[in-house]
Amino acid sequence: MWGLWTAVGLVVAAGLGLGLVFAAADRVALTGAGPKALVEPVRSALRSLLEQRRTTLAPDRLLWRTACAAVPVLALLSMAVVPVGDRTLLSTSADLVWFNAMEALLWAAVWLIGWGPNAVHSLVGGYRFLAQGVAYELPLMFAIITAGLGAGSLRTTDVVAAQSDLWFVVTMPVAFVVFLGSAAAFAFWGPFAAPAGADIAGGVLSELSGVERLLVEAGRVVLLGASAAMAAALFLGGGSGPWLPDPVWQLLKTLLVTAVLVGVGRRLPVLRPDRAVELAWMVLVPATLLQALVVALLVLAGAYG
C-alpha cells in the first residue's frame, strides 16, 4: 500500500515539477528576464492564493467550479501514463488512449469555465476552445496512433522500449511536431491561446481570480509539462542515451522539448481558430495520415524490429 502511495506521490510531484519548469520557461520567454524569473511562477501562485475569489451575477456555480478543479486533476491524471524514471504509474494495453482521453475531457472542462460565469468574453472564449478542439483533436489522435503503430503497442513503456535502435522522431517528424502543437492547443497556450486571448480580455480566464485562477493556470502548465515529457518518451527514446543514467536523459530530453516548445510558441502570434479549422483539416489531417501510412509501410518492412 505504501508503495502505491509513494508512486502516486512521485507522479504528482513530477507533474507539478514539470509544470513549474514550463511556467518558468514561459515567463523567461515572455518577459526576457533572466533566470530570476524561475521563482515567478511560485510568486504568482502565492499571489493567487492571497487573492479573493469572485462570483458573478447568476453564474452556473456548480459547473463552473467543478470545471476549474477538473483542469488540474485531468492534467495530473494524464501523468499516469507518462514515464517517471523507467516506469509508468498506469501500465495497460491502452496507455496512449488514456493520455488522449484526458485531453479530450478538457473539451468539457474548458467550455464550462467559459460558460459558468455568465459573462460575454468568457463565453466567447469557451466556444473558441471547442472550435480549436474540432480542428486539432484528429491530428493529435493520428500523431499518437503513429507512435503506437511504430511500437505495435499502446503501452508507453513498450513505445519507449521499441526505440532502443532508432528514435521515432527520425521516422515520424510530422507526428512529433503535430503532437506538441496539438498539446499546446489543448492547453490553449502560445499560438493557440485564442480562448484566453487579450482581445476578449482573457476569455475563459477573464472572470477567474484567487484559487480558481490558480487551479486553471496550474492545470495548463502541468498539461504542457506532461506533454513535453510524453513527447520525449514517445518520439525521443525516453531515457535512452549514453553515459548518463536513464532518468537524467529523460529529464534532459524533457527540458529540451520544453525549451523548444516555449521558444517556438512564443515567437508566433495567435493562429486564429476560424482559419486554423480549414488548415487543420486540409493540411494537418492529410499530413498526419501520410505520416501514419509511411510508418505502417516501415512496420511491414520490419524497420522497427
Partner 1 sequence: MDLTGRIRRWALGRPRVLVIDAPGGERFRWQLEDELDRRHWPLALSPADTDLALVLGRPGAQLAAAIELLWSQVPQPRHRQDIAADGDLPAQLDAASVALVDAANRTEPVQPGAQTQLGNLGPEPDDVDDEHAGHSGHEGHHMHHGGDVAGLAMADTAPDRDGLTLDVLRVALGPVLPGWPTGLVLTGSMQGDVLTGVELAWVDGSDDPNHGVLQATPQAVAMDQLARILLVAGWPTAAAAARRARRDLSGSHPQRAAQTQRAAARVASRVRGSRALRWSVQGIGSTDRGMTPAGSAHAAGDVWGGVRHWCDVAAGGEPVPVAGSPRSLTEASILLEGSELAAARLVVATMDLERPATRVETESTGV
Partner 2 sequence: MIAVLALFTMASALVVAGYGASLALSRARRPLEVLPFESGSLPQQHAVSRYHARWYAVTVLFLAFDMEMIFMYPWAVVVADLGASAVIEMFGFLAVLFVGVVYVWREGALRWT
Partner 3 sequence: MNDTLLSDPAVIAVVVLGAVSVGSGIAVFVVDSMARATFALLVSFLAIAGVLLALDLVYLAVVTALMMTIEMAIMAVFMIMFMMNPAGLMPMTMVHNGRGSAAVGFVAFVALTVGIWTTDWPSRRGQPPADTTRQLGEAIMGSHMLVMLVVGIGLFATILSGTILATGRGRYDRFGADLRATRPDDPTPGGLPR
Burial label for 113, CB within 10 Å (0-12, 13-18, 19+), is buried
Residue type, 33: A
Choices 165-173, 181-189, 209-217, 230-238 (CB under 8 A): range interacting with partner 2: 209-217
Instruction: Annotate each residue in 68-87 with x if it binds partner 2 (CB under 8 A) or - if it does not, as one string.
Output: -x--xx--xx-xx-------
**87 counts as binding partner 3 under rule CB under 8 A:** no
Q: In the Cβ-directed half-sphere of 301, how many Cα atoms lie within 13 Å?
A: 7
Query: What is the gyration radius of the CA atoms in the chain, in angstroms?
Result: 19
Burial label for 227, CB within 10 Å (0-12, 13-18, 19+), is buried
> Residue 139 binds which one of partner 1, partner 3, partner 2, none, with CB within 5 to 8 A depending on kind?
none
> Residue 294 binds which one of partner 1, partner 2, partner 3, none, with CB within 5 to 8 A depending on kind?
none
Query: Alpha-carbon dihedral of residues 16, 27, 220, 12, nearest 10 degrees?
Result: 0
Answer for the pair 162, 304: CB distance below 8 angstroms, yes or no: yes
- Binds partner 3 (CB under 8 A): choice among 127, 270, 285, 304: 127
- Binds partner 2 (CB under 8 A): choice among 14, 21, 154, 169: 154
Answer for the pair 154, 148: CB distance below 8 angstroms, yes or no: yes
C-alpha cell at 116: 459558468
> Residue 63 binds which one of partner 3, partner 1, partner 2, none, with CB within 5 to 8 A depending on kind?
partner 3
Query: How far is C-alpha 70 from the chain's CA centre?
Result: 15
Q: How far apart are CB 124 and partner 2 at their closest, in Å?
A: 9
CA distance 129 to 300: 38
Answer for the pair 23, 221: CB distance below 8 angstroms, yes or no: yes
Instruction: Annotate each residue in 51-90 with x if it binds partner 1 (CB under 8 A) or - if it does not, as one string.
Output: xxxx-xxx--------------------------------
Nearer to partner 1, 95 or 217 (CB): 217
**b/e for 31-58, b at 16 or more Cβ within 10 A?**
eeeeeebbebbeebbeebeeeeeeeeee
Report DSSP state, residue 89. S
**96 counts as binding partner 1 under rule CB under 8 A:** no
Choices 12-20, 93-101, 158-166, 186-194 (CB under 8 A): range interacting with partner 1: 186-194
Nearer to partner 3, 26 or 137 (CB): 137
Contacting partner 3 within 266-305 (CB under 8 A): 274-279, 282-283
Q: What is the DSSP string of 117-152?
A: T--HHHHHHHHHHHHHHHHHHHHHHHHHHHHHHHHT
Contacting partner 3 within 138-197 (CB under 8 A): 153-154
- Binds partner 3 (CB under 8 A): choice among 8, 10, 104, 294: 104
CA distance 6 to 18: 18
Q: How far apart are CB 265 and partner 1 at their closest, in Å?
A: 10
Chain positions contacting partner 1, by CB under 8 A: 29-33, 40, 43, 46-47, 49-54, 56-58, 120-121, 124, 127, 191, 193-194, 197-202, 205-210, 213, 266-272, 274-275
Chain positions contacting partner 3, by CB under 8 A: 58, 60, 62-63, 92-94, 97-98, 100-101, 104-105, 107-108, 111-112, 115, 118, 127, 130, 133-134, 137, 153-154, 274-279, 282-283
